[in-house]
Amino acid sequence: MRGSSSRRAAFSRSAPSPTFFDHDVPDYDGSDSWIETLLKSPEHHEALTNEVRAVAQEIAADPKYADEEPIGPDEAARDRFRAFAREQLGR
């Protein structure tokens, strides 16, 4: 889409509660990616955050994973990520 003035960025999920937003984003200029551009909008940031949480809750509640051992980072890695997230989000 090199010559166009903007690109369309969309996010959707079909079940159980579809979420969709459609937003023009400027052509890539080497700075922010399309997702970083969208996340600057509080409404898009909230929509994506809510969707990620909803998916995580669905997976956590799925009985087919009940016997699985927990996977993920150890506490030190979690602490590093929290520090990174605070720095990136300015909180």
Domain boundaries, the chain: 6-89
Which tokens belong to 62? 């799925």
- 24: closest CA among 41, 10, 43, 40? 10
Q: Residue range 58-86: average pLDDT?
A: 89
Which of the two residues, 88 and 20, has the higher pLDDT score?
A: 88
Q: How many CB atoms lie within 10 A of CB 16?
A: 7
The pLDDT confidence band at residue 40, using thresholds 50, 70 and 90, is confident
